[in-house]
Amino acid sequence: MDENQKKAIIIGASSGIGRALAKKLSAEGYLVGLAGRSLEKLQALQAELPGESQVKQIDVRDTREAIHSLRNLIMSMHGVDILVVNAGVLFQNEDFVWHHEEEMIKVNALGFAAMANVGVTYFLSKGSGCLVGISSVACHRGSGRSPSYNASKAFISNYMEGLRQKLSATAIKVVDIRPGFVDTAMTQGRKGLFGVISPEHAAVFIFNAIQKGRSIAYVPSWWGIVMWFLKRLPENIYHLGYRKYLAWDKKPSHP
């Protein structure tokens, strides 16, 4: 292992954006640490990468064990320059089933904070580094279809803003990535989606945002304009439009 090689770890690397970003970073010459729940999927991804990588099974629902495992992965890689926290789940939970709400909070909010804590603590000891959190455009408004998902993404973005404030006098960067609609399992089966991009396209946007040292990056960038307007809609108008969309989305599609 080259001690001077650039190193990145991706939490949630087994599918979607995380998988595509792992391939992009590997192609750019990074030693990549692949972490996630499914060891089988991580090993399959490892076989596809052009460069060197390491695999570590990490389930962020168990924060104590996940913290220990991430620290071990950093040690085995002899350090890390970029930590990407991409682990996330989404349930369409209009029936307000508690275990779905709990799962999204555990993974998206609590799990994120645990992994970010390890990363920031390590970067402070090193004196530099880059924490990348995959939030969402959903962080800006609530969702009756999936209350905890949007709320958890708001948690991620606000948490990273606090970290940027805390680390402002250091060489540590905190990058808040806010994707729009990406062609992953989370968006499949939904109607009316626009501007959908591939995970590979998203990975290029994210890599460029990291290289440019952006604090907040919408993926693609035009989502920033869309959300500027959406955030300013009065709540009653937003709720009316969202309910109409849900009613339309539930209607069966005709061939």
Alpha helix positions (H), the chain: 16-27, 39-48, 63-76, 98-104, 112-126, 147-166, 199-212, 223-231, 235-250
Tell me the domains of the chain and their CATH numbers: 7-250 (3.40.50.720)
- Identify the segments of the chain with pLDDT beneath 50: none
- Its pTM surpasses 0.85: yes
pLDDT at 253: 62
Q: Which residues are catalytic?
A: 149
Q: Which residues contact 163 (CB under 8 A, 6 or more apart)?
A: 116, 120, 131, 174
pLDDT at 118: 98
pLDDT at 249: 74
pLDDT at 243: 87
pLDDT at 90: 93
